[in-house]
Amino acid sequence: MNRMIGSAWVMLLAVCASTPGYAATSGPAVRRDVFGTTPEGRDVDVFTLVNAHGLQAKVINYGAMLISLRVPDRQGNFDDVVLGFDTLGEYLNRSFGGTTGRYANRIGGARFTLDGVEYNVTANAGQHHIHGGRRNFSNVVWDASAFAEAGRRGVRLSTFSADGEEGFPGNCCCIVTYTLGDDNALRIDYHATSDKPTVINLTNHSYFNLAGAGSGPVYDHVMHIFASRYTVVDGALIPTGEIAAVAGTPLDFTEPTPIGARIGELTQTRGYDHNYVFDESSEVCPLRVRVLEPASGRVMEVHTTEPGMQLYTANHVRDLKGRDGKTYGQHGAFCVETQHFPDSPNHPNFPSTVLRPGKPFESTTVFRFSVRE
């Protein structure tokens, strides 16, 4: 694992290894290459997954990051639909495509109370906590192994976070599995355990542009979100606890609507940076978001077991040099960060993010691609 931490490490390693399907086998459909070396001397590999239709996903074990996803348009032309970079150095301490945790999104005041004990976590967003702190899951090297089976291929990654790291209680083992299927779907499964009560909120932070990374703003992308409510926030984007209707606001995507139709009305956030509360569903992993890019015909559907999603439209990206000499700008991508709600540990009316010993955290999100003629 990433660090040797005595008996706790041994115990958590046993938990990881005993997880069903953890022992993976390599296969010809998964290629593993050297991607780079961290400043600390850790080697980082890139895993290339290709399905029967030519869809290609690339994952690195730094941050358990999705760094490339090539899908076809209606003419059969492939483009990379996630923003990325050419070298490992450009990914260091960035969240592009990374696995965000232990706690994705914000914790107000960088503190919470669990079972009567107050915990102070890293304040890395002013006086608040965001995305797991300074040493978070998206900026450490994970252990990884590839697998290939009939109709699917993937990579399974694991990391260990010690009791007290970034202020969170409990020795925590996390496993993230990327699976690319011949059904043109990229599935991400999350599994986490802890030896003490703690809080957990995991997501993927990929930046999508279905016209192709670096092709300009995503204003013409037509988005349909199956959520009629959102969590209201204060000026620091910390939830107040109120859950309000999207009707009559720029956040309303209950009918297919171009992202750019009302984005200019969001002056506080300079674009979308809001948590949606998904509508009730009897399905285990229901369809929650559908996005169409009209020019290419590409469609991305997002299915998830999570109760919410942060929609973010790259509001703070400015003239960022990306892969293949392309430049990424403001609103040049959208993130659909499936998650539990921000600041849930401080709001009893929100779905619980408490992780207890013996009750693993399990979550699944699926990105399914197709084309519309």
Q: For the chain, what is the total number of helices (H) and then of strands (E)?
A: 1, 29
The residue type of 11 is M
Alpha-carbon distances, residue 98 vs 62, 67, 284 (angstroms)? 8, 8, 25
3-state secondary structure of 7: helix
Dist CA 278 CA 357 (whole Å): 28
Alpha-carbon distances, residue 54 vs 50, 78, 184, 211, 213 (angstroms)? 6, 9, 9, 18, 18
Dist CA 46 CA 137 (whole Å): 17
Tokens matching residue 214: 């670096």
Dist CA 371 CA 248 (whole Å): 31
Q: What values do phi and psi take at 167, rounded to 5?
A: 95, -5
Tell the burial category of 257 from Cβ atoms under 10 Å away from its Cβ (0-12, 13-18, 19+).
middle
**Alpha-carbon dihedral 167, 155, 65, 15, rounded to 10 degrees:** 0
Dist CA 240 CA 145 (whole Å): 42
Tell me which residues are annotated as active site.
Answer: 205, 337
Dist CA 67 CA 118 (whole Å): 37
Residues with Cβ within 8 Å of residue 74, at least 6 apart in sequence: 296, 297, 298, 371, 372, 373
Dist CA 179 CA 185 (whole Å): 8
